[in-house]
Structure 1
Amino acid sequence: MFGLGKKRSKLGKWLDHRGITQQKLSKDSGVNNNTISRLATDDEYLPTMRTAQRILKAIRKIDPDVKQDDFWSM
């Protein structure tokens, strides 16, 4: 079971819905697991532009239609 009852951000919910682990996203994007964890639980935390681009590049391999605004309002 993903999420385990924790508060989830839009990114966290997206990962849970698709059965993707934070560790997999971390590995695929090259972004530190602690950063992915914080982004998956805290809607107020905004990544740097470079980090967001790395995450989106990895996510778009699964869903090419994903936009930055789906997760973060920057």
Structure 2
Amino acid sequence: MEEAFGLGKKRSRLGKWMDSRGIKQEWLIQKSGRNKNTIRMACNDPDHIPSGSTMQKILTALREVDPSVRAEQFWDL
């Protein structure tokens, strides 16, 4: 069974979390102020760990959806 948003593509924990809530990468790009390539890497590459400032911007945006999100849910710190 393919995921509705991921369409069977390799996804990071962040990407899977966003897919399960119907959140599009474009939304995260707008809310975080980070560029498309940065967000694409964060959502698609399970081995990618963003810089501290990018991580913080992503988390701030995601907390609009779920105030309890933590970096440890998405990245091995």
Question: What TM-score, normalized to structure 2?
Answer: 0.91
Q: Which amino acid aligns with 1:38?
A: M
In 1: Cα distance, 2:62 partner to 2:40 partner: 15
Instruction: Name 2:31's counterpart in structure 1.
Output: 28
Give the structure 2 partner of residue 17 of structure 1: 20
- Helix, strand or coil for the counterpart of 1:69? helix
**Segments of 4+ in structure 1 off by > 3 A?**
none
Aligned residue pairs total: 74
SS of aligned partner of 2:39: helix
Shift of 1:54: 0.2
Task: State the distance in 1 between where 2:23 and 2:6 align.
Answer: 11
User: What's the offset of the Cα at 1:50?
Assistant: 0.2
Match of 1:48 among 48, 51, 57: 51
TM-score (norm 1): 0.95
